[in-house]
C-alpha cells in the first residue's frame, strides 16, 4: 500500500465511477476530526507569518481544503501525495470549485511528493502542523512496513517546528501505535517530545484514534 502505481490505479478507478468529482475519505470526514485540528491553528510564531500545514498523503480527501477554508488565522496548506492522479484530481477540483477561505490570506496547493523525502521540499523547523489521515497506516501495512513508517516519522520531526504537532488519525490500537511512536521518537533523539492519544469515535463499528506527537512538550 505504498506503491505509487497502486494508488494511481485506485484513484483512476474511483474517479471513473462517478462523472462529477467527489472527495474520497479513507475514513472519517472533516467534521469528525475538525476539533483535533483547528485548536492547533490559533497562534502563530510571527504576526505576519502564515501557519504552515501539511496534509501528508492527502489522496482526494476534503481534509486539506477544509482546513484552508475554516482556519481563522492565515494558513498555507500543502496537500501532498505520492499519486500524481490524486494530485491532479484535487488541483482540478479546487480550480473548478474556487473555494473561498475564511481568511483571505490563506493559500492552498497540491503537490506530488513522497513523504519519505519531506526534507526535499520543506526546511527544518518549518511546519506548524502535519496531519496524516491513514497514510502511516498504509505505510505500516506495506512490505517495508515499520521501517518506512519510522523513516517518515523521522522526516516529520525534522520539518516540524518545535512548537508544532504531528496528528496521525488511525484505527490502530493504542497498545501498538503508542509503543511504536514512543520508541521511534526516543530513537530519533528528541528527548522533549511528547506522544499522546485521544479517541475520535466509532465509525461502522471501528474505533478511530488521534495520535499527537509534539517535538517539544
Ligand X SMILES: C[S@@+](CC[C@H](N)C(=O)[O-])C[C@H]1O[C@@H](n2cnc3c(N)ncnc32)[C@H](O)[C@@H]1O
**Residues 98-137: x where in contact with ligand X by CB under 6 A, - otherwise, as a string:** ----------------xxx----------------xxx--
Return the residue of 21, 26, 36, 99 that touches ligand X, per CB under 6 A.
Answer: 26
Q: Which burial class, exposed, middle or buried, applies to 123 when counting CB atoms under 10 A from its CB (0-12, 13-18, 19+)? A: exposed
Under rule CB under 6 A, residue 7 binds ligand X: yes
Query: How far is the C-alpha of 149 from the C-alpha of 116, rounded, in Å?
Result: 8
Q: What is the dihedral sign for C-alpha 213, 155, 108, 15? A: negative
Contact between 170 and 141 under an 8 Å Cβ cutoff? The reply is: no
Taking the complex as a whole, the smallest distance from the CB of residue 125 to ligand X amounts, in Å, to 21
Helix, strand, coil percentages (3-state) for the chain, rounded to 5, are 40, 25, 35
Under rule CB under 6 A, residue 58 binds ligand X: yes
Please work out the total of residues on this chain that contact ligand X, with binding judged by CB under 6 A: 21
Under rule CB under 6 A, residue 64 binds ligand X: no
Question: Rounded to the nearest 5°, which phi and psi values hold at 2?
Answer: -120, 10
Taking the complex as a whole, the smallest distance from the CB of residue 49 to ligand X amounts, in Å, to 26
Where does this chain bind ligand X (CB under 6 A)? Answer: 2, 7, 24-26, 57-59, 61, 81-83, 86, 114-116, 133-135, 138-139
Amino acid at each position: 500500500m505504498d506503491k505509487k502505481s497502486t494508488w494511481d490505479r485506485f484513484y483512476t478507478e474511483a474517479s471513473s465511477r462517478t462523472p462529477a468529482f467527489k472527495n474520497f475519505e479513507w475514513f472519517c470526514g472533516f467534521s469528525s476530526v475538525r476539533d483535533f485540528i483547528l485548536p492547533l491553528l490559533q497562534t502563530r510564531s510571527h504576526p505576519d507569518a502564515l501557519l504552515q500545514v501539511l496534509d501528508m498523503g492527502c489522496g482526494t480527501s476534503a481534509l486539506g481544503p477544509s482546513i484552508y477554508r475554516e482556519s481563522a488565522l492565515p494558513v498555507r496548506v500543502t496537500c501532498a501525495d505520492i499519486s500524481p492522479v490524486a494530485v491532479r484530481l484535487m488541483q482540478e477540483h479546487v480550480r473548478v470549485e474556487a473555494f473561498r477561505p475564511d481568511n483571505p490570506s490563506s493559500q492552498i496547493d497540491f503537490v506530488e511528493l513522497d513523504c519519505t523525502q519531506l526534507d526535499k521540499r520543506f526546511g527544518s523547523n518549518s511546519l506548524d502542523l502535519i496531519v496524516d489521515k491513514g497514510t502511516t497506516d498504509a505505510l505500516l501495512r506495506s512490505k517495508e512496513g515499520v521501517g518506512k513508517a519510522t523513516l517518515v516519522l523521522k522526516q516529520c520531526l525534522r520539518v516540524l517546528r518545535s512548537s508544532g504537532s504531528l496528528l496521525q488519525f488511525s484505527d490502530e490500537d493504542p497498545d501498538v501505535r503508542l509503543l511504536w511512536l514512543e520508541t521511534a521518537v526516543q530513537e530519533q533523539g528528541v528527548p522533549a517530545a511528547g506522544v499522546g492519544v485521544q479517541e475520535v469515535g466509532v465509525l461502522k463499528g471501528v474505533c478511530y484514534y488521534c495520535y499527537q506527537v509534539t517535538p517539544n512538550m
